[in-house]
């Protein structure tokens, strides 16, 4: 069953990923059709995610 008319994924869809940040999940949502609330959403996500990427102890690469 689609989440919305024309949705590219359903409530049963499993998207296989490695570990990801919340900001990366938001990017995915936009790629799948979510409408950002701000024109500068990419900059906002980058600013919010930068400290985490700089200091995280894990990789986003599922093979690492």
Domain boundaries, the chain: 1-56
Q: Give the global pTM.
A: 0.66
Can you list the alpha helix ranges (DSSP code H) found in 1-64? Answer: 22-31, 41-55
3-class DSSP assignment, residue 42: helix
Under 8 Å between Cβ of 33 and 39: no
Residue 63: the pLDDT is 64
Whole-angstrom CA distances from 54 to 9, 10, 32, 34 are 32, 34, 27, 27
pLDDT in tens, 8-57: 777 777 777 778 889 999 998 898 888 999 999 999 999 999 998 888 88
pLDDT in tens, 4-21: 677 777 777 777 777 888
More confident residue, 40 or 2: 40
Q: Which residue reads 């900001």 in tokens?
A: 23
């Amino acid at each position: 069953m689609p989440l919305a008319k024309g949705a590219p994924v359903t409530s049963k869809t499993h998207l296989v990923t490695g570990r990801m940040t919340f900001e990366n999940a938001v990017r995915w949502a936009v790629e799948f059709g979510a409408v950002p609330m701000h024109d500068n959403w990419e900059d906002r996500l980058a600013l919010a995610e930068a400290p985490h990427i700089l200091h995280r102890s894990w990789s986003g690469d599922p093979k690492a």
